[in-house]
Chains A and B, each alone.
Chain A
């Protein structure tokens, strides 16, 4: 029962994040992330600028990207070639971040301990 309650809280938090994202993209606060086609748009006239055009921009075929549009995960995935580079790159990034943070933290702790030792050796401050 307790676990079910906790799972519900996690799902509620998930719904809040998804709802906020949907609202932001829907209202065009972040226009560049607005969906490109209109199937999510409810019926009715909302007025204002069309954020979810039914037609692809500038006469492009459906599914065709505008010029200069960055290659995404889909295109890369559909190339179908075996690539170990992605895994190595991700592990490399994580390893570098871990090394930097752990080293900086140990350095910081070392300094703090040294300072504490120095203070205790000097004894209480007297006038």
Chain B
């Protein structure tokens, strides 16, 4: 397998994982419609997806960490700081969520006291997550558009194109 194939597969996996995380968090962010059990279990499952997302972006993280103070371009720096904030926010959401858990933690056989402060912090970090996710999406918008074009729209276009070609052949016959 050559480097370009690995890169292509990596991008495809990354896109699939990112869509999964985005939809997962979007659903989990509204416990009113899902209920508390789905809210908690989906967020815990999304955490695995977040770890895979970080692993797939590992080279980028390492490169930027190494050259953070020496690079002249501002955009990657802003991106890096934003990603760090997003990471901290996700961890805080998870931590405070576990501390006030009503489904996940009791399932594991533990019981925690009801906690006003943690609940407030959970609400605060969850509310902060939405604009941070918006900024994260915005700063990667070009990548998202290109990946969608290449791995979603083009294959669909090819599918319809080949169907149309098949139809044309059968009409000609």
Contacts and interface: CB of A to CB of B under 8 A. Distances in A.
Contact of A87 (B27, B51, B123, B134): B27
Nearest to A60: B116
Interface in A51-83: 62-63, 65, 69-70, 72-74, 76-83
Given A79-B32, A97-B138, A90 B114 contact: no
Given A7-B51, A17-B91, A62 B137 contact: no
B112 A39 contact: yes
Interface string A9-41: 010011001100100010000001111111100
A74 B117 contact: no
Q: Is the interface of A mostly helix, strand, loop or mixed?
A: helix
Nearest to A2: B58
Interface of B: 26-27, 29-33, 35-36, 39, 51, 54-55, 58, 87-88, 91-92, 95, 99-100, 102, 112-123, 126, 130-131, 133-135, 137-139, 141
A36 B113 CA distance: 9
Interface of A: 3, 6-7, 10, 13-14, 17-18, 21, 25, 32-39, 62-63, 65, 69-70, 72-74, 76-84, 86-87, 90-91, 93-98, 100-102
Given A6-B55, A77-B36, A33 B130 contact: no
11 contacts: A17-B91, A65-B116, A73-B123, A76-B31, A82-B33, A87-B26, A87-B27, A90-B29, A94-B130, A97-B135, A100-B138
